Structure 1
């Protein structure tokens, strides 16, 4: 039997590949991991389109209950669905490694990821530096700013993923992230950003109602982006084509 790790894309129930859909419909058990990102549709929509019952697994069920999940995959065809790509979070790499270590066969089917969807901004993907995250609690937190400073020094773009807790309905907003950067600049003073620095705020990338705005930090600090998930991008050194595409999102 096999554990199928399946990336289902960034938006709705129809975003997974045809091959992945065939795999889901043929599986004995179907789970969706519900804590590293947020589903843009309800589980009912997944079940209706897939024609299968889908059970949501929280962090404890996936991480603490991994042995049980792998044991089940020894006996049945188990599909574990992941929003975005199945390796968008360290958790899923751990699942693969542990399954291989225990001799459980794993099949991987990739999906669209935030790491490539940011290309819609016009920023060249190979010019992105280290990705970082901004947590809910930022008091005394310097890592996101330090990553930004390092990327900035190399002329690279910085993708900042914003903290989320779908179980409790909490999502760090673009405005909160922008305010963190302004506060971090005051605290650490590396000259990386200013209130007039133009950055990119994004919401629901990959969905029909996605939002992309290119504006000064001071503007994004008070902007509304609608429903989550969100990310913030601080551009590095820009090529003229990147500038032209970014200008389409200015405002």
Structure 2
């Protein structure tokens, strides 16, 4: 059985009773440690859970996931999914938006292995603390880091659509962990770029550039 357990909003004690029971009974516990960031250290989690935790970096999760699944043939394992990152609310439909974790689920199903999701709180529901009514939120969008050759702007159209309907938009800001340059990737060199976390300023600048580009197109036409 492969378990995906939500940790809550960041504190070691945010895990649910059900989630903690699962953690304590599993033979091995992995902490997915690259699509999000911890507000507490691994040591704090280990102390509260009373269990050793194995950090699962990008290579382990994306490249060596079959090794984890093979262990399921012999032991009860737990893949401890961190849900601090905005995009990974552990509601079933939202879980399937996270391609990394979707891949794990699909691989497990292909091998005839069962999995379970233990839900927890996430920014998808906690954003109500900002004072805005959750009922008035429209479609959530992800704002990704642009590159010199890749500048998607589809999220702007969704934000505009929400505004036209007089609805709020929850914007999920990009995070880059253990990213490689194309040169290092092609040459197989395990050299990674420093972690990057999109700021509100960066997200706003990209949105303003999209607005300006759209205005110029309208003027030319």
TM-score of Structure 1 vs Structure 2, range by shorter chain:
0.7 to 0.9
1:138 Cα shift? 5.8
Does the alignment pair 1:188 with 2:220?
no
> Offset of 1:21 from its aligned partner?
0.8
Paired residues of 1:4 and 1:77 also in contact (CA < 8 A): no
Q: How does 1:108-123 map to 2 (within 5 A)?
A: 108-123=117-132
The CA distance in 2 between the partners of 1:188 and 1:28, in whole Å, is 54
Give the direction of change, closer, same or farther, for the CA distance of 1:10–1:89 in structure 2 (3 Å limit). Answer: farther
Q: Find the counterpart in structure 2 of residue 165 from structure 1.
A: 176
Task: Say whether 1:175 aligns with 2:201.
Answer: yes
In structure 2, what is the Cα distance between the partners aligned to 1:118 and 1:146? 22
Q: Deviations over 1:197-240 (max 9, x none)?
A: xxxxxxxxxxxxxxxxxxxxxxxxxxxxxxxxxxxxxxxxxxxx
1:72 equivalent in alignment to 2:71: yes
Q: Does 1:28 align with 2:39?
A: no
User: Shift of residue 37 of structure 1?
Assistant: 1.4
User: Cα distance 1:65–1:54, how it changes in 2: closer, same or farther (>3 A)?
Assistant: same
Deviation at 1:41, TM superposition (A): 0.8
- 1:126 maps onto 2:125 in alignment: no
Work out the CA distance in 2 between the residues paired with 1:126 and 1:60.
Answer: 39
The answer for the alignment partner of 1:213 in structure 2 is: none
Structure 2 length normalisation: TM-score? Answer: 0.77
Two-structure CA RMSD over aligned residues (Å) = 2.1
Q: How many residues align?
A: 189
Q: Deviation at 1:38?
A: 0.9
Q: Which sits farther off after the overlay, 24-33 or 176-185?
A: 176-185
Cα offset for 1:126? 3.4
Q: Kindly report structure 1 stretches of 4+ aligned residues shifted beyond 4 Å.
A: none
Give yes or no for contact 1:138–1:180 (8 Å, CA) kept in 2. no
Query: How far does residue 7 in structure 1 lie from its aligned partner after superposition?
Result: 0.6
Structure 1: state its 5+ residue gaps.
191-251
